Amino acid sequence: MDHHYDIAIIGLGCAGSHVAIELIKQRPDIKIVVIDNAAAILHKKWSFWEKGVGKWDHIILKEWSRGLFKTDLDSINLDMNPYVYKSINSVDFIAFAKAKLKESNHSTFINSTVIDIDETDSELHAINHSDGTVHAKLVLDSRIDHQFFKDQKAITIQQHFKGWTIETTKDTFNPECFTMMDYSLKDQGTTSFTYILPYSSRKALIEFTYFSPDLVEDTVYDTFLKRYITEQLNITDYKIVEVEKGIIPMTTYDFNQHHSHNRYKIGTAGGWVKPSTGYSFKMTEKKAAILVRNYVNGLPLLTDLFTKRFSIYDSSMLSVLRDFNKDGPMFFHRLYKNNAIHNLFKFLDEETTLSEEISIMKSMTSLRMIKAFFKSLF
């Protein structure tokens, strides 16, 4: 069997799948190998916003055209038109990518753990995995470099959460409207909130989430989830049908230092998670398309992948969240109160003009934010 490939993708998660799908579409002639040790085992709900009809609609779990932002004092209706908020099951997305690999004549999927990559030949990398070795000219690697976990210099906020999908015996939820952030119940002194995806009038994912430098014990999420369900939703009769937990790093860490000749990090490992929100599904779709375009056109692979301006905004936001974590609810309230949600989505998608960005920054009218912004410039 020939173990030589044009491209090896390590990890068939969010980034590996997006890149594989895009590569097969644009360059069906090249030989790709994808190696993953646990693809499609963990069910995650990947949610994102996009305008109207999208390319993953055939595997979408549910979509919402209305949203809500809440605090104990205010409730803001988010009329998202032309955007729609959508949720996809990670397992379905990865299965779709796997099916594309199978359809393609030149691609191979190997269920195995990558151990290391031999550095001796930078033109043809030898990738050692539990069941053998494959060779590839280009490696796209979604393993996070261990240096990241030791780093003390970057600003890193953890988005950490636990969610229960619950079923109720009575009609309780409005399945047309999801809750982006509800700060009515929070862990005092932190940026913490509840996020709700109602799948039907009797079934919803309810997630207690922190944007904070430190993690909490598992029981803390349980306490807040129970309190939210009974005190805020007035539900007494329910059963938990699914549990999901996660930690998403929101960080200014320079992942670019871990690329080397014809070996590139992708996904979280390449800094593809939006630092100020922790969302990555759509950002990854976009970056995968740019990366593949660069490959197809023979350009340096990282061309146009990041925009400095948006890194500065992300860094300002993270700096405020790190230094004034208890003020997060106030910042987000101002953001949602003073800006139309479609402008915020456009901003978070990094598609706004400078004048639109200034207007969003001004809407926060906070000395801390302005200070953090100028600090991030240097």
Ligand X SMILES: Cc1cc2nc3c(=O)[nH]c(=O)nc-3n(C[C@H](O)[C@H](O)[C@H](O)COP(=O)(O)OP(=O)(O)OC[C@H]3O[C@@H](n4cnc5c(N)ncnc54)[C@H](O)[C@@H]3O)c2cc1C
Given the rule CB under 6 A, which residues bind ligand X? 10-16, 35-39, 44-48, 113-114, 142-143, 244, 246, 248, 267-269, 273, 279-281
Is-contact 54 86, C-beta < 8 A?
yes
DSSP single-letter state for residue 260: B
CB-wise, 130 or 230, nearer to ligand X?
Answer: 130
Work out how close the CB of 266 gets to ligand X at its nearest, in angstroms, rounded to a whole number. Answer: 7
Is-contact 104 33, C-beta < 8 A?
no
Compute how many other C-beta atoms are within 10 angstroms of the C-beta atom of residue 289: 16
Point out which residues pair with 127 in neighbouring strands.
117, 134
Work out how close the CB of 282 gets to ligand X at its nearest, in angstroms, rounded to a whole number. Answer: 7
Is-contact 218 224, C-beta < 8 A?
no
What does the DSSP assignment read for 116-131?
EEE-S-SSSEEEEETT
Work out how close the CB of 39 gets to ligand X at its nearest, in angstroms, rounded to a whole number. Answer: 5
CB-wise, 157 or 364, nearer to ligand X?
Answer: 157
Work out how close the CB of 355 gets to ligand X at its nearest, in angstroms, rounded to a whole number. Answer: 28
Instruction: Output the residue with the shortest Cβ distance to ligand X.
Output: 13
CA-to-CA distance for 284 and 290, rounded, in angstroms? 10
Our CA dihedral for 341, 342, 348, 349, rounded to 10 degrees, sits at: 160
Work out how close the CB of 255 gets to ligand X at its nearest, in angstroms, rounded to a whole number. Answer: 10
Residue 115, SS3 per DSSP: strand
Work out how close the CB of 14 gets to ligand X at its nearest, in angstroms, rounded to a whole number. Answer: 3
With residue 63 as reference, give the H or E element that holds it: strand 60-64
Is-contact 315 377, C-beta < 8 A?
no
CB-wise, 113 or 294, nearer to ligand X?
Answer: 113
CB-wise, 96 or 324, nearer to ligand X?
Answer: 96
CB-wise, 130 or 223, nearer to ligand X?
Answer: 130
* Among candidate residues 163, 162, 161, 166, the one with its CA nearest the CA of residue 240: 166
CB-wise, 246 or 363, nearer to ligand X?
Answer: 246
* Among candidate residues 315, 296, 166, the one with its CA nearest the CA of residue 237: 166
Work out how close the CB of 251 gets to ligand X at its nearest, in angstroms, rounded to a whole number. Answer: 12
CB-wise, 173 or 279, nearer to ligand X?
Answer: 279
Within the chain, residue ranges assigned H as helices are 14-26, 90-103, 147-150, 218-227, 281-296, 308-323, 328-338, 341-348, 354-364, 367-376
CB-wise, 281 or 347, nearer to ligand X?
Answer: 281
Work out how close the CB of 128 gets to ligand X at its nearest, in angstroms, rounded to a whole number. Answer: 10
CB-wise, 89 or 366, nearer to ligand X?
Answer: 89
Residue 269, SS3 per DSSP: helix
Work out how close the CB of 248 gets to ligand X at its nearest, in angstroms, rounded to a whole number. Answer: 5
